[in-house]
Every structure is written in C-alpha cells, then in structure tokens.
Amino acid sequence: MLPECQPQPEPECRVLSIQSHVVRGFVGNKSAAFPLQVLGFEVDLVNSVQFSNHTGYTRDTSFLDKVMEIIQELRRQNPKLVYVCDPVMGDKRNGDGYMYVPENLLPVYKGKVVPLADIITPNQYEAEILAGKKMNTEKEAIEVMDVLHAMGPDTVVITSSDLPSALGDNYLVTLGSQRKVIAGGLRVTERIRMEIPKVDAVFVGTGDLFAAMLLAWTHQHPNNLKIACEKTVSALQHIVTRTISNAKALAGVGKKPSAAQLELRVVQSKEQIENPEIIIHATTI
C-alpha cells in the first residue's frame, strides 16, 4: 500500500517575548505582540508584571538572571535561536544621562545579557554605559558599536542619539551596525545612519515597538540592515505622527496632551505595520 501523500505543515516562526503587560496602553508585551502577530509570527507572551497602565520602571536582577538561564536552555534546544534584547536602563534628558532601573542591573547587562544577545537596541546613553565610552561624533559612535559587537551581538542599533544632524536641531540620529559573513567567507560590517524628525512629546513604548518590529524586519531581511531599519523606523514614525496628531485633537487647542492621550495608536496603524511606506531613508556610512 502506497503511503498517503502527506501535506506539509505551515512553516512557522515562534517568538518568546518576556516583557511587562499593561491593561491599558502600549508598552512591553502589549506593544510587541500585535505588530509581531500581524506580521505573521507566533508570539508566546510571558508577562513579567501586570500593571493597570505604564508607570516608572521596575526590574530586578534575579528576574533578569532567570531569563538568561532560560535563554541558555532554549538555545541548547535550538542553537539558531535569535535573542533580541532591548537593554533598557536609562536615557538622556537635556544632555545628562540617568538610570531609571536599579544600578546593579548594569553589571548583569554587561556581563550576562549583552554577551548572550544577537541583536541589541540601546539608546545612546545605554550604548555608552555598556561600552564604557562616550560618543560625540559619528566616528566615536562607530567605535562604541564595535565595542558592543565585541561583547556579543552581531547587530547593534542605537535607536536615538543626540549626534549633530546635517538636517538641523530638530532631528535625532539613529545608527546601526551589522556584522556578517558574505559570499566567499568575507567578514564585513554594514553600517547605516538615519536622521529622524523629533516629535515634541514624551512617548512611552516606542522602544518596545521598535525592538519588536526590528525583530520582524531583520527576520525578513537578515542581511540588509538598511532595509530592515528603514521599515522599522518608518513604521514607528507613522505611528508616532498619528499618535501626536490624535493626542492634540483629544487635548484641545493649546493644551498639553496627557499620558492617556499619548498612548501609541498601534491598532489603528495596522496597515503601516504590515507594509510600512518608507518615509525615512538610511544612508550607508
């Protein structure tokens, strides 16, 4: 008897996302899940906390240690597992950096987390404290990214920096660097830069959204950091623009929008997430 012709199961790409959950709004897993799911990923969600809405940051080293232990076990089961890590520790305000997680997380990130990561998305402050050096010019930024590569990850994206932009003061600069092996066994580093119009508001959750979409687009374009970043940044810019526009309409003329009004319009931006219109281009540096 001939074997029955066996249909193939659908291919699938499964993400384990370990982040905060908020009842209302878009940070952490709430920010990551929807974009990844609309882009076709199976997403398993471990909610590290459940809060009513976003607040300040709470993270502890024992939880982070446990996550690293789990990642190492998962990697034994699938050596090709890709760990995308947003090393959230702090930010700059008016030029001064400050940590908004306990300081004892920094050695854990430097010693355990970043070495395990394949892709990291620090902001300038986080990149500087991880690498142990400042970046005031593009050349110094490249040096910082190279230090970070040496710690582990082949892909480093500095999501925002206050490097001077040729387009003016109201632009922030995003930088990316990806080490890869190309045809013939040659090791190269692709480096890109993007100038992004600043928006006059404080958004929460944009970093989480960025990391999730970067995961999706680097999966789609594993050897083209330029395209992956253009799609990620453009999608985020669409969402942010839509959000601020709606927030201002909610707040009314001349009034500053509240945190509730500034919640990212993620669901409404589904089509931009699925197929981002490139509105910001990257230059290769």
Task: Give the binding site for its own copies (CB under 8 A).
Answer: 3-4, 6-10, 16, 21, 23-24, 30, 33-34, 37-38, 40-47, 50-53, 245-246, 248-250, 252-253, 259-260, 265, 267-268, 270
Residue 162: active-site member: no
Cα distances (Å, whole numbers) of residue 183 to 154, 165, 225: 17, 34, 17
d(CA 277, CA 274) in angstroms, rounded, equals 10
Q: Degrees (nearest 5) of the Cα angle 138, 214, 81?
A: 110
**Burial of 26 from C-beta contacts in 10 A (0-12 / 13-18 / 19+):** buried
Three-class secondary structure of residue 106 per DSSP: helix
Q: Which is nearer to its own copies, 38 or 147 (CB)?
A: 38
Cβ 24 to its own copies shortest distance, Å: 5
Three-class secondary structure of residue 239 per DSSP: helix
Q: Which is nearer to its own copies, 53 or 283 (CB)?
A: 53
Among candidate residues 44, 65, 86, 208, the one labeled active-site is: 208
Q: Which is nearer to its own copies, 47 or 189 (CB)?
A: 47
Q: Which is nearer to its own copies, 39 or 64 (CB)?
A: 39
Cβ 248 to its own copies shortest distance, Å: 7
Cβ 267 to its own copies shortest distance, Å: 5
Cβ 59 to its own copies shortest distance, Å: 18
Who's near 136: CB < 8 A, 6+ residues apart? Answer: 163
Run of H or E including 90: strand 90-93
- Active-site residues, by number, are 208
